[in-house]
Amino acid sequence: MIKNLESSSLENYLMKEKNLRKSDGIEDSVRKIIREVKDNGDESLLSCINKYEEKELTSIKEVLFDQNFLEDKFNSLNVSNRDTLVYMAERIEKFHNKDIQLFDEFEDDSVEKYGYFMRPIEKVGLYAPGGKAQYPSSVLMTGVLAKLARVEDITVMFPGKINDLNLMFAASHLVGAKRVINAGGAHTLAAVAYGTQSIKSVDKIFGPGNSYVSEAKRQLYGEVGIDSLNGPSEVAIIVDENSSVEYAVKDFLAQAEHGEDSRCFLIHLPGFDLNLFNESLKRNLSKSKRTKIINSALKNCCTIDASSLKDAISISNCIIPEHLEILIDNINLNQLPEIRAGAVFIGTESSAVMGDYCAGPSHVIPTGGQGRFSSQVSLNDFYVKTSFMVASKNSYKKNGYKALLDNSINIAENEGLLEHANALKERNN
């Protein structure tokens, strides 16, 4: 059902995949969309929504919803759904609440003090995918952090039909969003990056989306900040002879149902019954209500032999997956620093699906190997960090103040920046 890949050919396989994604014409299409929305504002945005989201709007106001609307949607939920959203929000807040120190200062022997302070970003745009399903979890995964950071102005964006999105609207209320734009895609990101007649611009954009959304974030970086380039969802699952075949199958299918371009890798140690896995995969898939999406995704999925756990981790480190599951008990946690992945789930009862919802860590995680330089979204991402130092007449009493001046003057003169040196010489009396 799914291809078996030799570990020796994995790098070539990943490179081929990467090149295919680059040559699909998305870059030029997104560039054109962004330019049109930047130049024409609401008019082009309206046209794009009708074209790409198959709507028949006559005004942008039809997809803009204020805080009163969001509150009504939250209050209209049944108690069970409302409590679930609150529980998830509390779990996310609990994990991130001690994630950051907003101010710190240090004594110094050259100046009086130095340190840093953090201020929240003023305006953020939070993107959540939609269309095939509704994802209130994605709203909460970024929105709870924005609220916790005390971001003043939160705009939430997601596509889909209004009547199917009650949980999305309710989650937006829970995180304190000032407005929701019921639209998605590159056109919506361009609108919040540049602003239109009806939509305020933001300072930074967060959240996962499809390849068009990811490409739009890449092209808009610099005009706005972005969290990371979140592409198609992916998982690597490491199993051995004691791992549950059914757990591995269910987690494999859970990841595949994200979308047709999802990627799943099963890395199996000696003793794991691969035939039993494939049989169970077929059996479970035949009962699934999302067979069409999963079947398309399985074309991007593969199994890989590993000789040992160390070998399996090496294979996973070549992929640098968004999610890594190690469905094996008694793992030595001292091995964790060796692992290269966005988020790791360890133990036979663990699952990446827990991370999608109520475990606590953000599920907005870099994909496509970008975990080699990027991290999952954290509270830090909603702040700007600024350094400071204090130097006054009292600094002359410090043993190192003159050394700081002399060395800085020397470097400035060697760089040929003589006015830099003169600025410090004036103080070096």
pLDDT at 19: 58
Residue 11 lies in a domain: no
Between these two residues, 71 and 373, which has the higher pLDDT value?
Answer: 71
Residue type, 143: G
- The 10s digit of each residue's pLDDT in 153-192 is 999 999 999 989 999 999 999 999 999 999 999 999 999 9
**Whether residue 256 sits in one domain with residue 320:** yes
- Counting every residue, how long is the chain? 429
**Whether residue 214 sits in one domain with residue 239:** no
**Whether residue 222 sits in one domain with residue 114:** yes
To the nearest whole percent, how much of the chain has pLDDT over 90? 74
**Whether residue 318 sits in one domain with residue 212:** no
For the residues 292-311, what does the mean pLDDT come to? 92
CB 20 within 8 A of CB 172: no
**Whether residue 411 sits in one domain with residue 314:** no
**Whether residue 287 sits in one domain with residue 223:** no
pLDDT beyond 70 at 301: yes
**Whether residue 154 sits in one domain with residue 223:** yes
pLDDT beyond 70 at 303: yes
Given pLDDT bands bounded at 50, 70 and 90, which one contains residue 201?
very high
**Whether residue 222 sits in one domain with residue 252:** no
Task: Reply yes or no on whether 246 is catalytic.
Answer: no
- Give the residue ranges of DSSP H helices in 10-153: 10-22, 26-40, 42-52, 67-76, 79-96, 136-148
Mention every residue, 6+ apart, whose C-beta is less than 8 A from residue 285: 253, 291, 294, 295
**Whether residue 201 sits in one domain with residue 243:** no
**Whether residue 274 sits in one domain with residue 215:** no
Q: Is the dihedral of CA 274, 371, 222, 183 positive or negative?
A: positive
Residue 364 lies in a domain: yes
Instruction: Supply 382's token pair.
Output: 């909603």
Residue 421 lies in a domain: yes
pLDDT at 108: 86
**Whether residue 86 sits in one domain with residue 160:** yes
pLDDT beyond 90 at 17: no
Residue 4 lies in a domain: no
Total of domains in the chain: 3
For all residues of the chain together, what is the average pLDDT?
92
Q: Domain of 408?
A: 399-425
**Whether residue 246 sits in one domain with residue 362:** yes
pLDDT beyond 60 at 20: no
- The 10s digit of each residue's pLDDT in 256-287 is 998 888 899 999 999 999 999 999 999 999 99
Q: How far apart are CA 175 and CA 148, in angstroms?
A: 9
Q: How far apart are CA 117 and CA 123, in angstroms?
A: 19
Q: pTM for the complete prediction?
A: 0.88
Residue 12 lies in a domain: no
Residue 5 lies in a domain: no
pLDDT at 200: 95
Task: Reply yes or no on whether 363 is catalytic.
Answer: no
- The 10s digit of each residue's pLDDT in 383-399 is 999 999 999 998 888 88
pLDDT at 209: 86
Mention every residue, 6+ apart, whose C-beta is less than 8 A from residue 325: 235, 236, 237, 238, 251, 344, 345, 346, 350, 351, 352
Q: How far apart are CA 341 and CA 319, in angstroms?
A: 8
- From 187, 258, 268, 323, active-site residue: 323
Residue 393 lies in a domain: no
pLDDT at 213: 92
Domain CATH for 285? 3.40.50.1980
pLDDT beyond 80 at 429: no
- From 53, 257, 322, 325, active-site residue: 322
pLDDT beyond 80 at 107: yes
Residue 321 lies in a domain: yes
Q: How far apart are CA 24 and CA 19, in angstroms?
A: 9
pLDDT at 266: 97
pLDDT beyond 60 at 23: no
- Bridge partner list, 206: 126
